[in-house]
Structure 1
């Protein structure tokens, strides 16, 4: 393990220890979720508090919350597939694409598979009102091995802001502004968790495909948390109720939504050590930065015009030859 990786891990561990842990009630799978697809590839624990999703040659798999939520806090501890996982995407996200096909909202964690010996990358993204042509992607290198134990990933969504957390450390905050208009998610959403084959784009822009000789690929989820106002998708037009307003007011007033100085400092450190792409610095795609982008000159100089980090992060020594995977998957291997 390289010096930088040790330093980044120490920074994250020290940061997490300095912050107050996020404590919310968790639920059994049956209480809050239902299978979505790949039913034979969904394995639930005896106590119904852990669920594993499998991707094999036949199909991926996924589950979805039983209710929609008008704002809320959504969290899970996730252990990602191990070994060679190029092309495999594990997603944990909220969306309403099945209800609002042309004007859907979405908030994403996408774990973008990896080549053995390389660090995992996670992408966060946000869409509002069908704004799919204006992707707000940010990518980070995880400063730990997410395949050996569970790590917690959380999304806080209120009418004022969206915050993404890794192990209770905020890693991204998007504050709502009038200039964002409908690009800020505002309609009720379901929570989803999926694992699927994204060979065409996930790892090095599609250079490396899923190799099913290393499957099945297993992603496990536990400590499932759903906190927010449940909304009936059929009765949605009348669901902006006083009850939902009261629930969100309580959420906004809670420690979850208060961005303390300690949280701001922790977020800045994580981003300095781990962010490798930001749409705010991608002037090739977006010559004019989006209104929510806070362009910091010292940070901007670290990124190229395409939004990617100028210098690759030094993480670990190169793997021994025998630890490297074979060539990218051929059709015969699928």
Structure 2
């Protein structure tokens, strides 16, 4: 066990250095941020929502009584949604899920759209994982999950997570580095999110599935679990969802401006940074999960050299391939398998 943790620590450190280099080569994303009251309202667990004196940092708590969350005051037809987040810092966070996502499930219950960042807690010594997902028009049976190991400790300082949603593509960012792009294609049909969505942030008990399929549950002796959010950004066209469905084109100019902005242009530098992040950190992809999805998804660009790194379940064959340096005569540690994560 100790050997595997040393390997994990060494490789995560190396990946973190590479991530810093990749981010440094990209133009920083600069958008206007808002105070909580300017763009958000409490959603649930009101006593577990703590706001800073300047109203620009919000902490969400999960304890024995409840989790907590907030929601944007408006719905948006496309946009850029961002927050700097610091995850719960206790050693044991199994079963805890921190989510930052867009959704319209409250309005379109049976055909909702959703774009997710889900941060999955873990047992002591294991790195935090983040899962991204895309749902369109109620396509919950066709989850488009990808999962990555974060190449840094997300509990010691804030890191920025962003979602760009346009009529042409969806891009997820971690610290200005694009980590996933889903381009719209005619074959996706309604699976591509198209209806107005709100922005949510929550922390909640997902003991039944979040850590090793529910093997490790939330242990409230280590609580309360605190996730903090700052640098809140809401860039998009505010809409009334009913008017949008009636055919309003009030957001057309705003959407065109967003598509033409630096945020939406996938430069060569961004493409290269995204490829490096995925090569170093992705541990699951639905595009390679032939067990759940025998027929490939239309937007999946299957690269044979990449496909060979994944099992038929979509999980990486070896999450950590490198071995730690050893003293002469000592036995090198076994690389950590994806299943160990």
State the TM-score bracket (shorter-chain normalisation).
Answer: over 0.9
SS in 2 for 1:133: helix
Q: Residue 93 of structure 1: which of 101, 105, 108 is its match?
A: 101
Q: Residue 103 of structure 1: which of 106, 111, 117 is its match?
A: 111
Greater shift, 112-121 or 152-161, is seen at 112-121
d(CA) in 2 for partners of 1:265, 1:50? 33
2:79 is matched with which residue?
Answer: 72
Contact 1:5/1:315, CA 8 A, preserved across alignment: no
Contact 1:52/1:218, CA 8 A, preserved across alignment: yes
SS in 1 for 2:142: coil
Q: C-alpha deviations, 1:1-56, integer Å up to 9, x for none?
A: 64322220111000000000000000000000000000000000000000000000
1:142 is matched with which residue?
Answer: 150
d(CA) in 2 for partners of 1:197, 1:305? 30
RMSD: 1.3
2:318 is matched with which residue?
Answer: 311
**TM-score of the pair, normalised by structure 2:** 0.91
**TM-score of the pair, normalised by structure 1:** 0.93
2:60 is matched with which residue?
Answer: 53
1:1-334 matched pairs, under 5 angstroms: 2-83=9-90, 84-238=92-246, 240-241=248-249, 243-313=250-320
d(CA) in 2 for partners of 1:92, 1:3? 28
Count of aligned pairs = 316
User: What is the CA-CA distance between 1:126 and the residue it aligns to?
Assistant: 0.4
User: What is the CA-CA distance between 1:316 and the residue it aligns to?
Assistant: 9.9
Greater shift, 207-216 or 308-317, is seen at 308-317
User: What is the CA-CA distance between 1:295 and the residue it aligns to?
Assistant: 0.4
User: What is the CA-CA distance between 1:187 and the residue it aligns to?
Assistant: 0.2
Contact 1:62/1:194, CA 8 A, preserved across alignment: yes
d(CA) in 2 for partners of 1:278, 1:195? 24
SS in 2 for 1:129: coil
d(CA) in 2 for partners of 1:302, 1:234? 45
Q: 1:91 to 1:110 in 2, by over 3 A?
A: same
d(CA) in 2 for partners of 1:254, 1:237? 26
Q: Which runs of no fewer than 5 residues in structure 2 stay unpaired?
A: 1-5, 325-341
Contact 1:232/1:239, CA 8 A, preserved across alignment: no
Q: Which runs of no fewer than 5 residues in structure 1 stay unpaired?
A: 318-334
d(CA) in 1 for partners of 2:55, 2:268? 38
User: What is the CA-CA distance between 1:312 and the residue it aligns to?
Assistant: 2.7
1:329 is matched with which residue?
Answer: none
User: What is the CA-CA distance between 1:237 and the residue it aligns to?
Assistant: 3.0
User: What is the CA-CA distance between 1:82 and the residue it aligns to?
Assistant: 1.2
Contact 2:195/2:241, CA 8 A, preserved across alignment: no
